[in-house]
Amino acid sequence: MISHDAIRLHIYQYMVNATTAACLATGEHMMLHVDTVQRRACPMGPQMQAAAEAAMTSWAPRLKPLGLSGSIKPAS
């Protein structure tokens, strides 16, 4: 997880060859929390916000991934 705010999660994933350690693929994604009744993006509830904070604490990247934010700007 790269960043998050009340509505968005910004994640970056990569696949590595276990034998050669070569990076095979990357994916950068911006996920929105959506209210399916209102059919629009909305802030996460308190439990989800707390989970995002805990995840950011556990999984924050130590280094900025190469190619990060080429077309997606980080959540605040």
Neighbours of 2 (CB within 10 A): 21
Q: Structurally, how many domains does the chain consist of?
A: 1
- Domain assignment of residue 26, yes or no: yes
Specify the pLDDT at position 33. 96
Domain that holds residue 55: 3-59
pLDDT greater than 70 at residue 76: no
User: pLDDT tens digits for 33-71?
Assistant: 999 999 999 999 999 999 999 999 988 777 778 778 777
Residue 65 φ/ψ, nearest 5 degrees: -60, 140
- Domain assignment of residue 50, yes or no: yes
Specify the pLDDT at position 75. 67
- Domain assignment of residue 75, yes or no: no
Specify the pLDDT at position 24. 92
Confidence of residue 7 (pLDDT cuts 50, 70, 90): very high
